[in-house]
A and B are shown apart, each in its own frame.
Chain A
Amino acid sequence: MIDKRVGSPSEAVADVFDGATIMVGGFGEAGSPVELIHALIDQGATDLTVVSNNTGSGEVGLAALLKAGRVSKVVCSFPRTANSTVFPELYRAGKTKLELVPQGTLAERIRAGGAGIPAFYTATAVGTPLAEGKEQRTFDGREFILEHGLRADFALVKAKSADTHGNTIYNKTARNFGPPMAMASNVAIVQAEQIVEPGGIDPEIVVSPGIFIDRVVEVASPVHESELVAAGATYP
């Protein structure tokens, strides 16, 4: 029998190990799996490499994981936003390394990692500082650079609904990095507002087919990062 449910966020992240690479979904607060991240802070794994579009805001969620000193490197396209102070301080102090990746290249590197593609050529960033040291090749008279697929040990993803097979649907622009990150990780962990029986989600509208998802955990009323930040909340 297939039943990918786990009882709690802490159970879902229990086996995250020191030194793991973790993909964290979300674009700003939309799709940020705050409950899973907080469970990871409680769990204690450290020396993590985090792949995520941003670096969180305030001192909750992803920013709190950074603040707790658990992240040695971020792979990221835009590591500063409004209310984002934790990462800039760590970066300036040399405590957290940054691999800056154009947003589309980041998404495609993740997608490629999930699709068994070790590397690909792209025109993005040709001639810029982000192309330095990368193999360059001409196709049909245009220059391209080689970018490598990205994989992770774990992905933390926020969704709207999932079934016990892991079939997942998302909410509006909170979908963002969830589907490619789920594909590219060895263990894809989804927090969903509701978990239904097989058949409870119309197969025509499934976004992440269950084969890409390893664990689903119900978080019925997820917090909104912006509300926590506005309230001055910190975690733990």
Chain B
Amino acid sequence: MTPATASERIGRTREQMAERLAQDIADGSYVNLGIGIPELVAKYVPVGREVVYHTENGLLGMGPSPAEGSEDPELINAGKRHVTVNPGGSFFHHADSFAMIRGGHIDLCVLGALQIAANGDLANWSTGAPDAIPAVGGAMDLVAGVKKVFAITQHTTKTGEPKLVPACTYPLTGLGVIDRVYTDLAVIDITPDGFRLVELSPGVEFGYVQERTGAPLLQP
């Protein structure tokens, strides 16, 4: 095993990142989880906290995936996957659903990221590749309207480039919208002074994180 491979295994797994983020979700929150790693968060919310999940296609009180054989093609989430509805849930149309988002009624959303800038700018919908079919969905509405926005992402790209950068080079999703970032290496707040470390993942040192962060990382 080469040192490079060993170093890639430092820090939290995707599941552990989701578990760490889940500790910061308050009891009674209305939460929208994006597609991918964010979807993993729901199963780690500590016992005793009640969280109501919003999916922007028109459901509050989204429950887990249904048992095989009981899927309903008209009961899906924003990722178009089959879901269930919890007791106390409700259905609504898209204009109401996005009034919840854009009107500041949702407490928290958790999104993946391509790039996060030190001022909280987010790029997560397009790499700007000329042959790509542009598609945005609800990402711009969520970051503009939800009270608190957490990003959950690997600290670097697959080729080792920082995803936490001085300024985004990909097309933006929103300006100054990210509050906190959860990566495999650390939890980092966006502050008026830039990236500020909240905590390192177990076994990870500050210098290691700073080397892989594209802008200065302030001590806690």
Contacts and interface: CB of A to CB of B under 8 A. Distances in A.
Task: Indicate, yes or no, whether A interacts with B.
Answer: yes
Interface of A: 27-31, 53, 77-82, 87-88, 91-92, 98, 100-108, 110-111, 122-130, 170-180, 207, 224-226
A135 B141 CA distance: 18
Contact of B133 (A88, A107, A128): A88
Contacts of A126: 144, 174-175
A124 B144 CA distance: 5
Contact of A100 (B56, B98, B135, B175): B135
A173 B102 contact: no
B93 A175 contact: yes
B85 A172 contact: yes
B162 interface: no
Nearest to B72: A172
Contacts of A79: 133-135
B57 A176 contact: yes
Contact of A180 (B91, B94, B133): B94
Contact of B141 (A53, A91, A104): A104
Contacts, number: 148
Contacts of A122: 102, 144
Contact of A108 (B55, B59, B98): B98
Contacts of A111: 95
Contacts of A30: 57, 73-76, 80
Nearest to A158: B74
B133 A80 contact: yes
A110 B96 CA distance: 12
A184 B76 CA distance: 25
B141 A102 contact: yes
B138 interface: yes
B133 A125 contact: no
Contacts of A124: 102, 140-141, 144-145
Interface of B: 55-59, 72-77, 80, 85, 91-95, 97-99, 101-102, 121, 126, 131, 133-141, 144-145, 171-175
A87 B93 contact: no
A127 B73 contact: no
Contacts of A53: 94
A235 to B, nearest CB: 18
11 contacts: A28-B76, A30-B76, A53-B94, A91-B133, A103-B137, A123-B102, A123-B145, A172-B72, A173-B59, A173-B91, A180-B95
A155 to B, nearest CB: 13
B136 A77 contact: yes
Contacts of B91: 170, 172-173, 175
A175 B73 contact: no
B98 A104 contact: yes
Given A104-B102, A128-B171, A178 B93 contact: yes
Given A27-B58, A82-B80, A104 B93 contact: no
Contact of A173 (B75, B172, B174): B75
Contact of B94 (A98, A127, A172, A177): A177
Given A125-B140, A178-B93, A179-B95, A78 B73 contact: no
A101 B138 CA distance: 9
A156 B93 CA distance: 15
Nearest to B175: A127
Given A103-B138, A129-B171, 11 more contacts: A28-B80, A79-B133, A79-B135, A87-B133, A100-B136, A102-B140, A107-B98, A123-B102, A123-B145, A127-B175, A128-B171
A29 B73 contact: yes
Nearest to A106: B94
Contacts of B140: 102, 104-105, 124-125, 128, 130
